[in-house]
Chains A and B, each alone.
Chain A
Amino acid sequence: MFGAILTKLGIKKRQGRENVYGYIFILPWLIGLLAFTLGPMIFSFITSFADYNMLKINFVGLKNYTHMFTRDQLFWKALKNTAVYAVMNIPLITAGGVIVAVILNKSVFGLRTFRTIYYLPSIMVGVGTYFLWMLLLNPANGIVNSALALIGIKGPAWLTDPAWTKPAIVLMHVWGLGGQMLLYLARLQSIPQDYYEAASLDGASGLKKFTKITVPLLSPIIFYNLTIGIIGAFQVFQEGYIFSGGDGKPAGSLLFYNLHLWNQAFKNFKTGYANAMCWFLFALVMIMTLINQKVSKKWVYEEDGSND
């Protein structure tokens, strides 16, 4: 039936037909993108040049952008908070994910159970976990500080001391690295054991095998996780919103870029300005991703013909 329609439309070759099928399969997504994502994106770009409060639009040229860089007293602070968080979070999560995956790739007793335990936090997302962590991070009787006390360390006031709020959030994310671990694990299992055996015969140490075989073969996944991680880190919002109640306290240490943006859009109704902030963040993340991509050529191992 469908074939007949295509024949009528003059699409007779196998190649052409497969293209049509392909488009039909992505059609649900395509409609969603055009109707619900691309439209609002264009609208937000246009209103980023306007004094817009969701009800009135008054075009002001580049004023929102100049206000952002020169007059908004919280803009740089919010950007710095976000950058500091990203710099702490991304390397730790990446390294942690690789290490846990390598350990859980060995045949040890209770392997499946451990893999499940490490993966569990990834499916426990949402606001509930933040409240759970507020209890875990309680300075007096939270489990984190109780554990630290066992080894003789007096734990900090995680969420009330401005110097410790960002490490607290990083700690929370390290707990949830199971999602990344799973990707590494899948890749690790596809590395042929012959490589390790050959290396052992040549007298390579465990560390050497790890740095010369495991890491290079994992590098495409590491690169993927790094890219996603950078984008994710600059989108950090919920943690600041929930732990600080929306205003970034203590002492503005949890005022992340997106929290500031949200406050502008929905508390102060400077939606046009918030849209300008969105587009600046988009440009920033885009540039970082491009740099990441360029640099990746130097360290990401590519199998022949996998990409160029």
Chain B
Amino acid sequence: MKKKVLVTLLTAAMTASMLAGCGSSPAPAETTPAPAASSEAAPEESKEVAESTPAETPAAAEDDGEVVELEFWSWWSSEARKPYVLEMVDGFNASQSKYHVTYVDIPWGDIFTKNIAQIAAGNPCDIMANNLEEVAFRAEQGQVEPLDAYLTDDVKGAFYEQYLDVCTGDDGSIYALPLSVDTRGIYYNKAHFEEAGINPEDIQTWDDLTEAARKLDKKNGDTWERVGFIPTLGNGGVDTWMLNANNGPAWFDPETCEAKVNTDTNKEAFKWVREQIEVYGMDEFNELSAAFSSGMQDPFASGVISMLVHTSAYVSSLKQNAPDLEYGVIPLPEFKEGNGHLANGGGFVLEIPKGAKCPEGSYEFIKYVTSKETQDFLSTSLGDFSARNDFDDSTEFFKNPITKEIAKCLEETNTLVVPNALKGYQDIINPLVEEGTLGLKSTDEALDNAQKALEDFIANNQ
């Protein structure tokens, strides 16, 4: 009988705790108290930021005592970035008294699904970092609030037009402001260049690049001691080279959204890409690809590769992995003389998720972060480039020679925006194009297949 009582009690306790557990789990995330995290940032430096932007928002002075709590979501959690993000948030909190922003970092692999789930549940964060390329797509999907009601001409006028265009939806409204932008260039090893007697400024066309690569190559018997250049390693795919060769979108016509994969230009350019891989053979290529994708080795940092296409963010990675490496950056060369040095770039924006409880407050934060002072602070501390057009060489950031070289690449950069009508087209053509890159098919055949597939894709999705 005693046993029975015990069983009954245990069961009741379990049931009760289960029910309690169910009840508390859907509790809104809002109730999170202002975290201690933001107080971690170095107090002196945050004051500096606050002082350099004296009372930017006088409207914030309507002290009715109610401080609105806002959440800012992004994925920056590393030691190299998070302290500065926290400092920036503290700077905003100190600059006015109406809003209090809390920084929440969520891993890259989770943040976007979490964000959309929160939007669907009607309880999103207040400010969200997201990618620049898909602002218009998210706008079309109804995931973001338009900023038009708050934007003033002085704010709009401070950004390069091309980036503001990318932040504009199909309906003409602006849905985000750029936080940072990036570009691609060719990083080169200065010691290798000196040894081979190459002047980086002489590399102006693809032919010049090929020539330089052959001078840099070093082979000992069957093994490559030094690899001059492979165009698809690092952070430059076939896409980068095709964009450069076309001086604009390569796979489709951005106006008519028609497929133009197997054009003569693309065929010639793609053949060149494949030839550069063939110089070294598939074994060497596979080895180097595996080294890069595991993330544990960096053949450029260790001096195995002399030239590598990468984004502007590579600077901070090299700072960590190879602090002593002497390198420079040159723009992508021209496919043919006079064709242009265009590279594909991207970036990040801040936006207000649909249904955020206080869009005015969210906007105040976005405005603060994209202001000249804060952008300068972020550039100097994180090495990010700003989309603002009012920077000149006088700032500390732009005095760095590498920064200057990358800024030159940034001048000829195109943000590859996929028209909403073609969303998902890369999934279709990339595997087919890759068959050409890997030599499973001839480059022409691969492009013909991709052309056919893209035409079908467009027809299927109308």
Chain A interface residues (CB < 8 Å from chain B): 1-3, 21, 24-25, 27-28, 31, 35, 53-56, 67, 71-74, 131, 134-135, 137-140, 142, 157-162, 245, 247-252, 255, 263-264, 266-269
Contacts and interface: CB of A to CB of B under 8 A. Distances in A.
Given A53-B142, A55-B142, A55-B354, 13 more contacts: A28-B14, A31-B19, A35-B22, A72-B460, A73-B460, A139-B287, A140-B291, A159-B293, A161-B282, A250-B434, A251-B432, A266-B112, A269-B116
Interface in B406-437: 423-424, 426-428, 430-432, 434-435
Interface residues of B, number: 50
Contacts of A3: 4, 8
Contacts of A162: 438, 440
Contacts of B119: 54-55
25 contacts: A27-B14, A27-B15, A31-B22, A35-B22, A53-B142, A56-B142, A74-B427, A134-B293, A134-B294, A135-B296, A139-B286, A140-B291, A157-B286, A159-B293, A160-B285, A247-B430, A250-B438, A251-B432, A251-B435, A251-B438, A252-B431, A252-B432, A266-B116, A268-B423, A269-B116
A162 B120 CA distance: 38
Given A73-B428, A250-B434, A1 B5 contact: yes
Given A3-B8, A139-B286, A140-B287, A131 B294 contact: yes
B456 interface: yes
A267 B296 CA distance: 27
B162 interface: no
A247 B427 contact: yes
B233 to A, nearest CB: 11
Nearest to A74: B427
B428 A74 contact: yes
Interface of B: 4-5, 7-8, 11-12, 14-15, 18-19, 22, 112-113, 116-117, 119-120, 141-143, 282-283, 285-287, 289-291, 293-296, 354, 423-424, 426-428, 430-432, 434-435, 438, 440, 453, 456-457, 460-461
Residue of B295, B434, B435 with most chain A CB atoms under a 10 A cut-off:
B434
Contacts, number: 120
A55 B143 contact: yes
B22 A54 contact: no
A159 to B, nearest CB: 6
Given A134-B293, A252-B434, A73 B453 contact: yes
Nearest to A140: B287
A67 B462 CA distance: 12
A139 B290 contact: yes
Contact of B283 (A56, A157, A251, A252): A157
A263 B427 CA distance: 9
